[in-house]
């Protein structure tokens, strides 16, 4: 990758004898929306907070905007925006006051009102932060990360605890960050969120990256299809023209290219006058791939 904004090699982090992050490599390119996906406790927040300069690593090489975050500088801090997983603003200041306060920290901030408008809080700009709903507080958090006009924005589980409509709104907002040309480093444990937002996804499990790539191709997802149907009465698996296995009450044929086996199957059924009840062809969802990858340890 040319000009990576985030570059990580062999990153490790141990808490006492427990190794939370066990040698991961990551690259995030400029202008990319990158989703870091994994179950709770997999090492997402630890990794993110090392990149943000909050935690010290045990081993490995890390570069964020060309700087080692273990030695953050004021200039570097002005180029990144951070939305923490759980933080509340000063509850007695209004939305407008809080955004204006943060704008003052940066050398070339974005206009305050425009930033408030961008996160959809214009109607609440005069409200005290302590009186905002959970979703609105999160938007204010995003506004505070945006107002310094950073190149890179970290969003740690930005929609956890949201109702579905608040999540949709947030997705639109994050999509708008991409349009501003920002690089976004997003952590989430929602597959649909990664699928809706990310250009690239890495899945972390037990401190190791188990898959990485375009969400459409992850885990060979694009290269696999499943043909499912119910066996006609009096027909066994061995009678079928293609190799199939039982899958619950139906049978399934896993193939890379479904057209030829599907034609063979339907020709065979037509010739013999069988009906193929519940016939369908599907690709695994990102969720299937994710569950497969993250639950391997348990099964």
Q: Which residues bind other proteins (CB under 8 A)?
A: 49, 52-54, 74-75, 77-78, 80, 82, 84, 86-93, 97, 101-102, 104-107, 128, 141, 144, 148
Rounded least distance, CB 164 to other proteins, Å: 26
Q: Which of 129/251 has CB closer to other proteins?
A: 129
Cα–Cα distance for residue pair 104/190, rounded to 1 Å: 34
Q: Which of 67/291 has CB closer to other proteins?
A: 67
Query: Quick check: 184 and 33 in contact, CB under 8 A?
Result: yes
Q: Which of 53/284 has CB closer to other proteins?
A: 53
Q: Which of 76/268 has CB closer to other proteins?
A: 76
Rounded least distance, CB 148 to other proteins, Å: 7
Label residues 6-33 b or e (16+ Cβ within 10 Å = b). Answer: bbbeebbbeeeeebbbbebebbbbbebb
Rounded least distance, CB 77 to other proteins, Å: 4
φ/ψ of 46, rounded to 5, equals -60, -50
Q: Residue 142 CB: number of other CB atoms within 10 A?
A: 23
Rounded least distance, CB 218 to other proteins, Å: 30
Cα–Cα distance for residue pair 297/292, rounded to 1 Å: 10
Q: Which of 32/49 has CB closer to other proteins?
A: 49
Q: Percent helix, strand, coil in the chain (nearest 5)?
A: 35, 25, 40
Rounded least distance, CB 150 to other proteins, Å: 10
């Amino acid at each position: 990758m040319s000009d990576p904004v985030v570059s990580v090699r062999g990153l490790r982090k141990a808490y006492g004898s427990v190794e939370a992050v066990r040698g991961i490599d990551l690259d995030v390119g400029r202008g990319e929306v990158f989703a870091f996906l994994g179950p709770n406790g997999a090492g997402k927040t630890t990794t993110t907070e090392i990149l943000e300069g909050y935690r010290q690593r045990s081993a490995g090489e890390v570069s964020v905007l060309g700087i080692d975050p273990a030695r953050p500088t004021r200039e570097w801090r002005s180029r990144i925006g951070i939305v923490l997983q759980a933080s509340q603003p000063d509850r007695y200041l209004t939305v407008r006051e809080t955004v204006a306060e943060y704008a003052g920290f940066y050398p070339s901030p974005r206009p305050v009102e425009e930033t408030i408008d961008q996160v959809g809080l214009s109607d609440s700009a005069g409200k005290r932060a302590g009186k905002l709903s959970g979703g609105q507080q999160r938007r204010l958090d995003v506004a505070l990360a945006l107002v310094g006009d950073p190149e890179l924005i970290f969003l740690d589980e930005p929609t956890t605890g949201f109702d579905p409509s608040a999540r949709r709104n947030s997705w639109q907002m994050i999509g708008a960050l991409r349009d501003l040309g920002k690089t976004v480093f997003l952590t989430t444990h929602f597959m649909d969120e990664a699928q809706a937002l990310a250009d690239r996804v890495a899945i972390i499990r037990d401190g190791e990256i188990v898959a990485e790539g375009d969400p459409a191709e992850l885990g060979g997802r694009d290269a696999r299809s499943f043909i499912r149907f119910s066996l006609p009465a009096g027909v066994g698996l061995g009678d079928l023209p293609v190799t199939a296995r039982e899958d619950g009450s139906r049978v399934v044929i896993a193939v890379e290219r479904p057209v030829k086996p599907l034609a063979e199957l339907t020709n065979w059924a037509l010739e013999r006058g069988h009906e193929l009840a519940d016939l369908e062809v599907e690709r695994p969802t990102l969720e299937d791939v994710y569950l497969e990858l993250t639950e391997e340890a348990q099964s």
